[in-house]
Amino acid sequence: MHTVLDDLIDLLRLERIEDNIFRGDSRDIGSAQVFGGQVLGQALSAAQHTVEDRVAHSLHAYFLRRGDMNAPIIYEVDRARDGGSFSTRRVVAIQHGRPIFNLAASFQTPEPGLNHQASKPEVPGPEGLKDLGDVAREHLDKLPEKLRRFMTEKRPFEFRPVEPVSLGIPDPQPPVKHVWIKAVEALPDDLALHQNLLAYVSDFELLGTSTLPHGLPFGQGRVIMASLDHALWFHREFRIDEWLLYAMDSPNASGARGFARGQLFDEDGTLVASTAQEGLIRVIDEPRATRTDPRLQV
């Protein structure tokens, strides 16, 4: 198995300390704090460890504090309810004695029912599109060091954007984005694992859709972005090691917050999941602001 993907799977498995308490580590992917998708995937994994014979169908989460990449994260699971068909779990992620994240997840015993879905957007397929890392390597001389590392280091997923990518100061664009996503290697037939990995990767790209109409200068250190909350609904079974189209749009930005929605389709057009996220977006005047600047605080 690809070592980067294998490392991510190990990261999501967690160490069980007690029946309802788990411990996870972090990986530095070049972001300013622990990557939100990592905590999302780990919290879902912790909840899954306390549920049997039921499948996650939705989760709702809030990011409360920046995560410390150099300290373990403790996940405490509250088995809120086990009903006849549904189970609910609440998860709190803790570092240095304080909560940094909380999540509510719902699980259901699979059953048949009504069935309809939205149509997949008419966009080019993944074949022939460039991976995001390859696009970044073509413009290395234009990227600051930290962004260069974030864009070009090995990833456990391929990202093939449909629309052209600008890594300088982009022209304003409609708040719509389409990216094909797939794990870099084949994975076991384990739906819970595929859901954990989708939760992880669903935090990439989404909030950035809210910035597209504004032509923000990301490479100049003047844009502060942080996820505030995240919702994810699993509609149907899927495989994250097969191509999924992440179709995103942002209907609103206001009050230093951006709101974005996403739908994930397989290549056959089946809608497998939906997402929604609101995040902090601040543009500061000077690129050399420090962490003591109150505008950097979430």
Residue 277 annotated to the active site? yes
* Confidence band of 292 (pLDDT split at 50, 70, 90): very low
* Least confident range of 31-45, 76-90, 231-245, 257-271: 31-45
Provide the pLDDT for residue 286: 59
Catalytic residue among 48, 210, 250, 277: 277
Closest CA to 61 of 104, 95, 23: 104
Residue 254 annotated to the active site? no
Average pLDDT over residues 229-252: 98
Catalytic residue among 38, 48, 227, 274: 227
Task: Return the domain boundaries, the chain.
Answer: 3-110+129-296
Q: Out of 2.40.160.210, 3.60.20.10, 3.20.190.10, 3.40.50.1220, which CATH number does the structure's domain 3-110+129-296 have? A: 2.40.160.210
Provide the pLDDT for residue 1: 47
Cα distance between residue 74 and residue 99, in whole Å: 9
Catalytic residue among 203, 210, 241, 250: 203
Tokens of 129: 């599109």
pLDDT digits (tens, 9 = 90+) for 241-256: 999 999 999 999 999 9
Residue 203 annotated to the active site? yes
pLDDT of residue 163 exceeding 70, the answer is yes
Provide the pLDDT for residue 144: 59
- Count CA atoms closer than 13 A to 54's CA, side-chain side: 23
pLDDT > 70 in the chain, percent: 87
